[in-house]
Structure 1
């Protein structure tokens, strides 16, 4: 599918409140047929998401420790997870320490997921991901571990106000790029 047709289809699914604010852009190299170019998403004419550039305005993690030490990333630990740790330690660990152990374990797993999703995004081809987005359901895109699919779904008109507002907890566990577009959409409701 040509870039212009793909762009037209993606823009037809944009939320009405974001139509003049969010744009899909691409660069191509005229004399280099093997080079596919660069695709990115702009918000208010500013390049916000460029898959090959991690120096943009959205935070990109370089190590697992950065994710664990990020004060903006709140990882909830459920009562069931605390109980599992209590059974595992045979009740010898103080109550306040159980929370710390649970959060540490969960943040390690979460950090690995975020870093792998980020690595996949930097290597991904925007046109392939966008074509995938257009061919799968909106639910699959929202539940995917692919950052780009999450973003395209969040700014989609098929995701309504109620669903956006109900997603606040699960968005806290997503990459900062996804959180940025979630906040953008939430503020325009």
Structure 2
């Protein structure tokens, strides 16, 4: 599916209270190797989250180099790096697109259980996600993006959000 089609379908699911403020964007760096790119979410034009292939690959390279300097073999260095990269919130653009496309067929509950924080964040601003449920959620253990989207949605809906401590 083309990005413009995916973006429209994702945008159509955003709650009315925040739809005018949230924008999902993607770009491809045409002259980079394999036309790598970036995905970002903006709120009133300011980026609140950004990830992409180049940032992912450079972080992966730095982490494996650190692991190699600590005495790991190349295979061990990558094996140690994968869990750290998964927890970092950085993703390859292809993986991001795959997760976003798959989220279109998920229920809100399934989106909240997803390993990608962007999909979990989109669940929070999904029109199917109700105000009572929004008020009950305490996102303290969540990725900063999910926390930010939760606070933005609570503010837009006039719902008292849990304070993060």
- Both proteins in one fold, TM over 0.5: yes
Cα 1:166/1:116, change in 2 over 3 Å:
farther
Alignment match, 2:122: 152
Give, in whole Å, the separation in 2 of the partners of 1:136 and 1:45.
Answer: 28
Instruction: Provide, for residues 133-170 of structure 1, a one-character-per-residue CA deviation record: whole Å limited to 9, x for no partner.
Output: 112211011123321111111111110101101112xx
Deviation at 1:28, TM superposition (A): 1.7
Task: Indicate the residue corresponding to 2:47 in structure 1.
Answer: 47
CA distances 1:22-77 after superposition (whole Å, capped 9, x unpaired): 001111233457224211110010011101469xxxxxxxxxxxxxxxxxxxxxxx
CA RMSD of aligned residues (A): 2.2
Dislocated runs of 4+, deviation >6 Å = none
CA contact 1:117–1:147 (8 Å) conserved in 2 = no
The gaps in structure 2 that reach 5 residues or longer are 57-82, 158-165
Q: Do structure 1's residue 176 and structure 2's residue 150 form an aligned pair?
A: no
Contact 1:49 1:177 (C-alpha < 8 Å) held by counterparts = yes
* Displacement of 1:117: 4.5
Residue in structure 2 matched with residue 132 of structure 1 by the alignment? 102
CA distance in 2, matches of 1:141, 1:154: 9
- If the length of structure 1 is used for normalisation, what is the TM-score? 0.61
CA distance in 1, matches of 2:87, 2:30: 29
- Kindly tell me the number of residue pairs found equivalent between the two proteins: 127
Calculate the TM-score normalised by the size of structure 2: 0.69
Which residue does 2:91 correspond to in 1? 123
State whether residues 30 and 36 of structure 2, in contact with CA within 8 Å, keep that contact through their aligned partners in structure 1.
no
| Offset, 1:130 | 0.7
Larger Rg: 1
Separation in 2 of the partners of 1:38 and 1:5? 17
